[in-house]
Structure 1
Amino acid sequence: MAEIQLSLSVLLPILLLLYFLKLLWSRRHYPPGPLAFPIIGGLWRIAFEKGFDGMTAIKAAKQYGNVFTFWVGHFPLVFLSGFDAVKEGLVDHAEGFLDRGSTPFYEKVSEGKGIAFANGHAWKQQRRLGQMVLTKLGAGKRIMEDKIEDEAQQLVEIFASQKGKPFDPILFITNSVSNVTFSLMFGYRWSVEDPNFEKLIKSNEYMLSFGLTIFYVLYELFPSIMDRLPGPHKKALESTEMLLSLSKEEIRKHREQEPTQEPRDFIDYYLSEMEKEKNKNDPTSALDEENLIHSIHDIYFAGLETISTPMKWALLILANRPDVQDKIFKEIEDVVGSSNICYDDHKRLPYTHAVIHEIQRYRYPILVGAARQTTRDVHMRGYIIPKGTYIVPNLRSVLLDDEYWETPHKFNPNHFLDKDGNFVARKEFLGFSTGPRSCLGEPVARMELFIFLTRLLRVFNFQPPPGIKEFTEEPAKNLSASPQPFKVCAIPRNN
């Protein structure tokens, strides 16, 4: 018996070592990365650094190169870091990196429907229709600008009602940004007191915080087991049902309404196109109610984080920099005077335009970037990235790339200005991603950020509350890398 135990004690470590060496050999074609152990992969690295934040992947790239592999259990994620690598992946290898990588959790949430997580013909059809509808609804045009100006004015009035006292601006910003999307999707807006709006915001906040928890990782590694167990992952899955249920109800209402000569909103346009496809008897059509429901979900949440998070950062960053606020105010007064500000004025307000871009660059609203999946074997930088591999384009690393930005970790509007003070569009500014899957609502987002911020900065001077010298600019630990909770004083510039 003792001899058997001795043999096993010698044999077991040898077998484990051989298994480990076999794993390393099978992964030899992948780019290098943190050492991956059986079962846990490279998760030890995150535990060692006490969690994943916006700098985790950037630090790893410094050590392993701008194309590196991070193993989550047996699951490889190939990260692209820095402008050159991200551009090479998303533009030069656009077709190879075209599919969206959908993990078990997000597959459960999205069912491969909508715009964000669909692939192939279904994705192309949803995106093409989405672009067409947003254009017809006025994206980037005066009709859209009027909707945004109405919300901006509402926001100014709410801020004015605080009478210069400290208040939390986040809910009001989120409501105004959401209402631009609601008017596009449903044809109406919500008040900040609406109970459905409150539920929607709480659901979104929960999802953003859940994405960095151990329960999220466990679900991705062992979905079939986690589906049978209670825990925060159940609440996260339930949270996604809020907007999906709301969308279903709105679609039902639209179907029951008398048809109008011209579609009024996104749902009207989509239902109209669905009917046309139905009449064609096209078996390949992916225009159906489930895709419509998930498209609404995707457009809403993408737009919310792309716009509301930079808006929150803008108030915090500018409250820490009264000189930047004063310079923006002076530029607006000198150029626009007492006239209304319109989006075209961004061409005449280079410093203001530069500050808005720098806010997006300095505090990018997403931790990394949405994952892609290779549609074929891709040869990149001497490595073979097999078909089906998940690719993570680290857009944050692009905006902090020290090869292209003079002071990447400091707020510096001069990044977007030449020596004569003219605005300079930078190819390295990938604030809305790039390639075929770039942000669908970029024209709307640009317009919203400019109109909201110029309206507010023209009327108010933003300051930290009495007793607070300066706000922290360290982001909260969630997927959107939003500011930590803060209260601000909106001091009217004049009567």
Structure 2
Amino acid sequence: MALVEGLLLQATSTGLLLGVVVLLVVYFLSSASRFKEEDNEPPGPKPLPLLGNLLQLDLNSPHESLCELAKTYGPVFKVYIGPKKVVVLAGYKSVKQALVNYAEEFGEREIVRTFKNFSENHGILFSNGENWKEMRRFALTNLRDFGMGKRGSEEKIIEEIQYIIEEFGKLGGAPFDTTKPVNYAVSNIISSIVYGSRFEYSDPRFKQMVNRANENVRIGGSAPIRLYNVFPWLGPFLKSKRTLERNAEKNKKEINQLVSTLQETLNPDDRRGFVDSFLLRKQSDETSGKKNSLFNEKNLFTTVVNLFVAGTDTTGTTLRWGLLLMAKYPHIQDCVQEEIDRVIGSRQAVVEDRKKLPYTDAVIHEIQRVANIVPMSLPHTTSCDVHFNGFFIKKGTTVYPLLTSVLRDESEWESPHTFNPAHFLDAQGRFVKRDAFLPFSAGRRVCLGESLARMELFLFFTSLLQHFHFSPPPGVSADQLDLTPVVGLTLNPSPHKLCAVKRS
């Protein structure tokens, strides 16, 4: 009996092995057909079967690997991420030409497996077609109604500034991690616009919402998730995927509770925020019997998540880079504070002060350029066959607009790899705009909240520098502060602490 069981086990194992070999052969053959060269395609490194060019990319820092490949293959080239072909656009001229001059052709969003699982073509960030157009249009209109980029937002930011100044002041100059207080303050701005009210920094639900948003951004761009998007069969083995799923369930529960509370007190004559506007539109479509309305629960949930995460992480991350860079370069911090003291004094800064503070404005722009927080943008796809820069790119091709190559383009910036506010100043010290300054991307998919983010960065940064001097912890020199980023969907500063010493 034992002999028979052994023979059966051996036969079963052999059969399984043979099945795996057959599947791999079929996959290799299908992959080979995908790697077939089309006429007049962009150049690129030769791919391996199944893996493509993955071995030539550092998945912990793919934007750096792609910048290196651009030196060999030029501003428009292709790589294979596993079996999937990707066209990479490098440098200011090619990125601007594609996103602005060919906005329609390069205007679709590629929705990778991770985000397809969660968004299902709902919301704004990871949707296409009529859904994307309708949700983006509705969001823009209503966010502007609630003051995004206008006086209403300025008042909300100035109110929030008092809370974060108080938080920093409580620390008495002791070293602290800037992550939570900065993210809480920034998140409260988008929260007040979306929900109609801010949260206390001590609110456990709010803290968890912000922390989950930051965790999702970090994990969503990690090497394991990048591999999962290429090889979905890895999913069951990945802890990071399970974390994203768990966070998504918690987000859904929290948002449903917040929306239910707003629904119970909904007043058509007193819209408090974006959610109220969405609920009223949803109610109107239901009352009129409109079929297949896009104003449904899935779009509400996904759009709120998009706005909350994007409105929290990007601006919060940039502001944290700003404080770190001021501690790293104290002579620049001194110049900013001298200008603020001279022009504003002790009163609260307002948006109108920006044009009176050219050096401070230049520093903020240079922070955004150097921080380079969305180095590969979010991936696009071509909406049709397109002839671009002498190459043919098929409909449905994934496209990476390499924003890091724009913000560090050696033909556009005098010293692209150093922190140099003079990039945005003329010989007379006046602020100058630079065409290659594209931290918010460009074209149809340009950042929805650019005007709000610019206002937040100016008011928060100026006010914090007005009240505090930022320095490394005792025993740590400015030279020792590490500017190596932590790579996710955005580039965050490495874990660090700073001292915020109250200025007299």
TM-score (norm 1): 0.91
Q: Distance in 1 between matches of 2:311 and 2:404?
A: 18
Q: Distance in 1 between matches of 2:227 and 2:330?
A: 45
- Counterpart contact for 2:359–2:421, Cα < 8 Å: yes
Return the offset for 1:19. Answer: 8.5
Q: 1:315 to 1:57 in 2, by over 3 A?
A: same
Q: Distance in 1 between matches of 2:393 and 2:452?
A: 35
Q: Distance in 2 between matches of 1:211 and 1:117?
A: 13
* 1:406-437, Cα deviation, whole Å (9 max, x unpaired): 10010011111111111111121112111111
Q: 1:16 to 1:323 in 2, by over 3 A?
A: closer
The residue aligned with 1:443 is: 451
The residue aligned with 1:235 is: 243
Return the offset for 1:151. Answer: 1.0
- Counterpart contact for 1:357–1:416, Cα < 8 Å: yes
- Selected match of 1:309 from 307, 317, 329: 317
**What SS class does the counterpart of residue 226 from structure 2 fall into?**
helix
- 1:428 counterpart = 2:439: no
Count of aligned pairs: 478
Q: Distance in 2 between matches of 1:240 and 1:16?
A: 32
Q: 1:35 to 1:135 in 2, by over 3 A?
A: same
Return the offset for 1:77. Answer: 1.5
Q: Distance in 2 between matches of 1:29 and 1:376?
A: 16
Counterpart AA for 2:477: K
- Counterpart contact for 2:124–2:135, Cα < 8 Å: yes
The residue aligned with 1:8 is: none
- Counterpart contact for 1:89–1:97, Cα < 8 Å: yes
Q: How does 1:341-356 map to 2 (within 5 A)?
A: 341-356=349-364
- Counterpart contact for 1:53–1:367, Cα < 8 Å: no
Return the offset for 1:360. Answer: 0.2
- Counterpart contact for 1:199–1:242, Cα < 8 Å: no
- 1:101 counterpart = 2:110: yes
Q: How does 1:116-195 map to 2 (within 5 A)?
A: 116-195=125-204
Q: 1:169 to 1:18 in 2, by over 3 A?
A: closer
Q: Distance in 1 between matches of 2:28 and 2:129?
A: 41
Q: Distance in 1 between matches of 2:44 and 2:168?
A: 48
- Counterpart contact for 1:122–1:285, Cα < 8 Å: no
**What SS class does the counterpart of residue 89 from structure 1 fall into?**
helix
Q: Distance in 1 between matches of 2:230 and 2:52?
A: 11
Q: Distance in 1 between matches of 2:30 and 2:376?
A: 33
Return the offset for 1:351. Answer: 0.6
- Counterpart contact for 1:244–1:294, Cα < 8 Å: no
**What SS class does the counterpart of residue 459 from structure 2 fall into?**
helix
- 1:479 counterpart = 2:489: yes
**What SS class does the counterpart of residue 55 from structure 1 fall into?**
helix
Counterpart AA for 1:485: P
The residue aligned with 2:11 is: none
Q: Distance in 2 between matches of 1:272 and 1:228?
A: 40
Q: How does 1:364-443 map to 2 (within 5 A)?
A: 364-443=372-451
Gaps of 5+ in 1: 1-14
* 1:245-283, Cα deviation, whole Å (9 max, x unpaired): 322222222221152512111101111222333455444
Q: Distance in 2 between matches of 1:368 and 1:96?
A: 18
Q: 1:314 to 1:350 in 2, by over 3 A?
A: same
- Selected match of 1:199 from 192, 202, 208: 208
- Selected match of 2:463 from 442, 455, 459: 455
Q: Distance in 2 between matches of 1:40 and 1:315?
A: 41
The residue aligned with 2:75 is: 66
Q: Distance in 1 between matches of 2:334 and 2:275?
A: 43
**What SS class does the counterpart of residue 439 from structure 1 fall into?**
coil
TM-score (norm 2): 0.90
Alignment identity in percent? 36
Instruction: Decide which moves more: 410-419 or 299-308.
Output: 299-308
- Selected match of 1:35 from 38, 46, 57: 46
Q: 1:336 to 1:29 in 2, by over 3 A?
A: same
Q: Distance in 1 between matches of 2:448 and 2:364?
A: 20
Q: Distance in 2 between matches of 1:374 and 1:37?
A: 24
- Counterpart contact for 1:305–1:365, Cα < 8 Å: no
- Counterpart contact for 2:183–2:313, Cα < 8 Å: no
- Selected match of 1:490 from 476, 479, 500: 500
The residue aligned with 1:211 is: 220
Instruction: Decide which moves more: 21-30 or 85-94.
Output: 21-30
- Counterpart contact for 2:75–2:91, Cα < 8 Å: yes
Q: Distance in 2 between matches of 1:116 and 1:343?
A: 28
* 1:424-468, Cα deviation, whole Å (9 max, x unpaired): 111211121111111111111111101101111011111111111
- Counterpart contact for 1:99–1:375, Cα < 8 Å: yes
- Counterpart contact for 2:124–2:303, Cα < 8 Å: yes
